[in-house]
Amino acid sequence: MAAASFEFVQGSERLDWGVLVAIDLQRLMKDTNVDTLQRIVENIAFARVTRDEAAMFTPEHILHLFTLCQLVIQYLVCSQECLAKINVKLTERLQEMQHRRDSAEAEREKLHEENVILRKEVKAQRRTLLAYEYANSAGGGVGMTALGGGQSYICPQCGDAYTKKESLQSHVRKRHAAVKNGASPQSQPQEVEKTAYEAQLLQQRQLQEKVEKLENLLEKEKERNDRIQHDSMMMLMQAAMGGAQTKTPSPSPMPPPPPPATATAAVAAAPTTTQKQQTQETLERSPQFHAPPLQVPPEVSAIPVMPDIAALQRYNMTRQQEAANNALLRKISELEALICDLKSTKKDTAEARAAPVPEPARTTVTATPPMEVSSRPPPPPSTQTKQKEQQQSST
């Protein structure tokens, strides 16, 4: 594939035969060296050969030069193929990027259309909300005026009061055409609406802030009450435990452990009765220590105990579950014992049903040919047959 801007340039340099002859063709064919091929291309491409120089070439020189030209042409063909492959890959990548760009453009158009539709919907909803607010304020104003305490709209120019905003706007359009600040009569109703809307927004923000503050205070109060309740319950439990300890007598302290005895002393003899009496007397003489009763302040005892219903329900559920599990375990153990008894009785009955006849003496039979087995004498009679024969002979 030729380039469009290619032009043939006539070379003006001479062939460097020293470089060309020094190249080993066999080695260059086996181990291709790109630098050597580049030097050959530069030397041959921009060289000029005259007739006189060509007449001086020997057949060996011409063959050597032809082989070098073949190598250079093959190198150029290989380079062209590599460039063609790279061009194909780059073209595929370009097509993929164009496809991505087209998909991104379509997505952008879709999002733009959705944005336009959403903006229109927001504007319509805003207008509807303003209409509802206006109708609500107008209805509330009428109801309150009927009661005698309605909202009044005062004209900033003359001070006249009106029960409706529309009345004030019509009054401003008719009576006050010229405004001090030079604004047109058409812009004044818009300014009035804008100020009223800003006042409503400010009032809503203030109410929202008050609600948030009240919610925060309520959460803090709940946390404080829970903490106080938990502390009071813990203190009451401690007081109850302290009272129970004071009612129950404290056990006497244990005697000190005896020193470790050696093997010979342990084997020697047991303690005598006198030693036992001495140890009892020492235990009776030793002082007994009692824990002092826990002093509960009156303000703590006056706090009412609020039981935790959820905790009690959880405790009852766990106790019921434990009781059911224990009952199931008892039933399983009873069934296992019953199965074991049935197995043992079945085994005993099977053994009792089996006849207690002694088995005849087993004789080891070796593998013998059929002739030998037939020639052997019959086996001796068993003991039972002998006893029967003796009984018959005696009778």
pLDDT tens readout for residues 374-390 = 445 455 555 556 566 66
Each residue's pLDDT tens digit, 335-375: 999 899 898 888 888 888 775 555 555 544 444 444 444 44
Asked whether residue 66 is assigned to any structural domain, the reply reads: yes
| Highest-scoring range by mean pLDDT, 6-10, 30-34, 335-339, 358-362 | 335-339
Residue 69 pLDDT level (bands cut at 50, 70, 90): confident
Cα separation, 335 vs 342, whole angstroms: 10
- The DSSP result for 134-173, as a single string, is HHHHHHHHHHHHHHT----EE-TTT--EESSHHHHHHHHH
What pLDDT shows up at residue 284? 58
What pLDDT shows up at residue 251? 46
Tell me how many domains the chain contains. 1
Asked whether residue 273 is assigned to any structural domain, the reply reads: no
Q: Exposed/middle/buried for 68, CB within 10 Å: 0-12, 13-18, 19+?
A: buried
What pLDDT shows up at residue 352? 82
Cα separation, 3 vs 95, whole angstroms: 23
| Highest-scoring range by mean pLDDT, 33-47, 272-286, 296-310, 350-364 | 33-47
Asked whether residue 59 is assigned to any structural domain, the reply reads: yes
Amino acid found at 278 = Q
Mean pLDDT of 245-263: 47
Q: Exposed/middle/buried for 299, CB within 10 Å: 0-12, 13-18, 19+?
A: exposed
Mean pLDDT of 75-101: 93
| Highest-scoring range by mean pLDDT, 67-71, 134-138, 161-165 | 67-71
**98 neighbors 15 (Cβ within 8 angstroms):** no
Mean pLDDT of 93-98: 95
Cα separation, 389 vs 109, whole angstroms: 119
Asked whether residue 91 is assigned to any structural domain, the reply reads: yes
Instruction: Indicate if the pLDDT at residue 81 is higher than 90.
Output: yes
Instruction: Indicate if the pLDDT at residue 333 is higher than 80.
Output: yes
Measuring CA to CA, which residue among 51, 48, 50, 19 is closest to residue 35? 19
Amino acid found at 68 = L
Asked whether residue 120 is assigned to any structural domain, the reply reads: yes
Structure tokens belonging to residue 188: 């004044």
Whole-model pTM? 0.29
Residue 189 pLDDT level (bands cut at 50, 70, 90): low
| Highest-scoring range by mean pLDDT, 16-20, 121-125, 135-139 | 121-125
Domain with 95 in it:
17-128
Each residue's pLDDT tens digit, 211-229: 888 888 888 888 888 888 7
Residue 180 pLDDT level (bands cut at 50, 70, 90): very low
Beta strands in 119-260 (DSSP E): 153-154, 161-162
Asked whether residue 253 is assigned to any structural domain, the reply reads: no
Asked whether residue 380 is assigned to any structural domain, the reply reads: no
Asked whether residue 79 is assigned to any structural domain, the reply reads: yes
What pLDDT shows up at residue 88? 95
Instruction: Indicate if the pLDDT at residue 102 is higher than 90.
Output: yes
Mean pLDDT of 96-115: 94
Mean pLDDT of 72-93: 92
What pLDDT shows up at residue 369? 47
Cα separation, 142 vs 148, whole angstroms: 10
Structure tokens belonging to residue 74: 């093959």
